[in-house]
Amino acid sequence: MSEALLSQKLVGDRLELTARGLWTAPHAAELEAEINRITGGSAGAKSEKTTDVAIDMAGVRELDTFGAWLLERLTRQWTNVGRDAVVTGLPQHGADLVEEMHGVNREAPPRPEHKNPIVSFLAAIGRGTTGFAGSFHTFAQMLGETGIAAARVLFRPSEYRLTSTVHQFDRVALQAVPIIVLITFLIGAIVAQQGIFHFRKFGAELYAVDLVGILVLREIGVLIVAIMVAGRSGSSYTAELGSMKMREELDALRTMGFDPVEVLVLPRIIVLIIAMPALTFLGSMAALYGGGLVAWLYGGISPDIYIARLTEAISLTHFSVGMIKAPFMGLVIGLVACAEGLRVKGSAESLGIQTTKSVVESIFLVIVLDGLFAIFFASIGM
Amino acid sequence: MSDKTPVIKVRDLVVGFGAQTVLDHLDMDVRPSEILGVVGASGAGKSVLLRTIIGLIPRRQGTIEVLGKDFERVGEEERRALERRWGVLFQQGALFSSLTVKQNIQFPMRENLEISQRLMDEMAFAKLEMVGLSPRDGDKFPSELSGGMTKRVALARALALDPEIVFLDEPTSGLDPISAGDFDELIRTLQQTLGITVFMVTHDLESLYTACDRIAVLADGKLAAEGPISAMLESEHPWVKTYFQGKRGSNLADRELVQ
């Protein structure tokens, strides 16, 4: 725009402003700048020289709420200090708009409080700590509620949701088989390769088989599977339950006399308790297979020797240690995922936050649990 | 633009999904500065028509000219400019749930205008007051709002850039009759002060009587009737007859006549 939207002229002690052009949203930025220049300059409201102001709006071709508000803001500069501001030449439609704007922004908007950074830092730490305690609380609560629901179902087995369980089992266990087998196969192969590579320096390649066997059966098999399940199924549980909560589906269930924990949570957790050992077994076998393949191709250990060495190195105890841990990890993942899902609030953002929390917390708890089991098994000599 | 030229001109519009045809060779005009109410049975394609006009649903055939331009035939730049000239109020409000009320209203301003934060704040509060809310509501999140407030905030956001056309998809659904009545009045007032054109899809007979200048009835994928409320009451089209002269409709009509 070449023409100025607002021009000023000082007549005696009276400031005369002439407005022109388009006072609309696309030009609001220039208009605001011009108004600031005039009110901030020597002829502005705070100046002693001018007593009042006259604004001629006849040259304005278009006026919208942006223009009307800026005009209102301009006149308020004078009226607020008790001087006169006269607006002339407004078309009818524009006058309505200015009238509408006359009442707005009268009360000061609530100012965001400026907080002391040290205080807010301490507050954040405090909130984080109580939040951590809070998640432990919801976890314990979910454990209790699931226990009660399980006990109820035990007395009235006909009420158990078998169809839902089968459907969930298909999603969580069967459909997870390919990816879990692939990942554990690769991990087994990598462990074997590393073992052979480093043990070769001592001429002890054969001990790589012991390494693979014990590590996979006791720790890696179950841990990798638990982490995969937490990322794959735990997150989907949280997102599912969370969006059901957002859409009031859980409230609907409750009003029909169903307990959401019994209908939605219990089948999901039971499925995880069953699926984890099954997937751990498959995963461990795949890892041993991968290790054997690498031992043969890379380490020159033939399958016969690999299997013979494996039989010597591992016992049923090692296998049981891994398998005993699996259902507990399934339980923890399921509880965390469902508890976080039920904590989702109204916004899409909160769904994202809870899903992240669900995965992070369940992986953390799985590793803590693994450590506790390690102490336990060591003390009973397994 | 002269008063004769329609703001929205729909010609020979065909829209469908799969084997189903929802809008079948539909013609329609929306005149400047009027409030047009679009009614029809559930599933008649009212929302589909609205969403097709604003370009959310592809059309199979026909032309739609909004403010003299068919956005399927103009470039990206011009299309964006055109989109800035209308505001849409979605049925569920469609507020961004991770932004506060104030940020929701400022979102279109921030993206399209290069104005100062101060002016943006003032405009957001002004819009909030125009739709009957208090500036104190500006820091709330959409999940903390009631149904009526959500609709008002959504309307404030639709009006953020001072559009020439506002599309409203069932603005009063889910509101109690008093809030719905207030909302109708609000739309009427805003339309008069801002001089905007309103395209309103509705089920609410009350809105049709109090807010709308003209009514368009959709049936069988076509416009079954078009005109002011008096024309609707005289229409012989079976659906229009049942709708306006049925139990609920005729009660209202009597009341209007008494008044």
Segment A207-228, tens digit of pLDDT: 999 999 999 999 999 999 999 9
Contact list, B97 vs chain A (CB under 8 Å):
346-349
Which residue's structure tokens are 């009031």?
A: A248
Mutate to test the interface with A, among B145, B159, B162, B196 (most CBs of A within 10 A): B162
Contact list, A32 vs chain B (CB under 8 Å):
115-116, 119
Residues A121-132 pLDDT 10s: 999 999 988 888
Q: Taking the model in full, what pTM does it have?
A: 0.69
- Interface check B155 vs A, CB under 8 A: no
State the angle between helix axes of A117-155 and A316-342 in degrees (0 to 180), rounded to the nearest 10.
Answer: 110
Number of neighbours of residue B63 by Cβ within 10 angstroms: 13
B78 or A167: which leads in pLDDT? A167
ipTM: 0.73
What percent of chain A has a predicted confidence (pLDDT) above 70?
94
With the C-alpha atoms ordered A252, A256, A259, A265, is the resulting torsion angle positive or negative? negative
A57 or A363: which leads in pLDDT? A363
Residues linked to residue A86 through DSSP beta bridges, in sequence order: A54
- Interface check B157 vs A, CB under 8 A: no
Average pLDDT, chain A: 86
Q: What is the mean pLDDT of residues A300-311?
A: 92
- Interface check B136 vs A, CB under 8 A: yes
Query: 3-state class of B246 per DSSP?
Result: coil
Contact list, A97 vs chain B (CB under 8 Å):
193-194
Per-residue pLDDT at B127: 84
Distances (CA, A) of A154 to A148, A261, A326, B6: 10, 15, 23, 70
Strand B197-201 to B165-169 pairing: parallel
- Interface check A111 vs B, CB under 8 A: no
Closest residue of chain B to A102, computed from CA coordinates: B126
- Subunit contact B97:A65, Cβ cutoff 8 A: no
- Interface check A101 vs B, CB under 8 A: yes
Per-residue pLDDT at A46: 56
Q: What is the mean pLDDT of residues A86-104?
A: 76
Closest residue of chain B to A96, computed from CA coordinates: B193
Per-residue pLDDT at A185: 96
Q: How far apart are CA A13 and CA A49, in angstroms?
A: 6
Q: What is the pLDDT along chain B (259 residues), one digit of tens a residue?
A: 445 678 888 888 888 888 888 888 888 888 888 888 888 877 778 888 888 888 888 888 888 888 877 777 777 777 777 787 888 888 887 888 778 888 888 888 887 777 888 888 888 888 888 887 888 888 888 888 887 888 888 888 888 888 888 888 888 877 778 878 888 888 888 888 778 888 888 887 777 877 888 888 888 778 878 888 777 777 777 887 777 777 666 666 666 655 5
Q: How far apart are CA A147 and CA A209, in angstroms?
A: 42
Determine contact, residues B198/B204, Cβ cutoff 8 Å. no
Q: What is the mean pLDDT of residues A289-304?
A: 93
Nearest to A109 among B114, B121, B192 (CB): B121
Which residues are within 8 A (CB) of A292 and not within 5 positions of it... i.e. 6 or more apart? A192, A303, A306, A307, A310
Determine contact, residues A39/A77, Cβ cutoff 8 Å. yes
Name the least confident of A45-49, A146-150, A346-350, B69-73. Answer: A45-49
CA A313 to chain centroid, in Å, comes to 44
Which residues are within 8 A (CB) of A103 and not within 5 positions of it... i.e. 6 or more apart? B129
Determine contact, residues A290/A280, Cβ cutoff 8 Å. no
Structure tokens at A258: 């169903």
**Nearest Cα residue to B162 out of B190, B201, B185:** B190
Q: Which positions 34-73 of B are in contact with A (Cβ < 8 Å)?
A: none
pLDDT band at A306 (very low <50, low <70, confident <90, very high): very high
Residues A332-357 pLDDT 10s: 999 999 999 998 887 778 899 999 99
Q: Which positions 66-105 of B are in contact with A (Cβ < 8 Å)?
A: 97-98
pLDDT band at A373 (very low <50, low <70, confident <90, very high): very high
Q: How far apart are CA B179 and CA B192, in angstroms?
A: 20
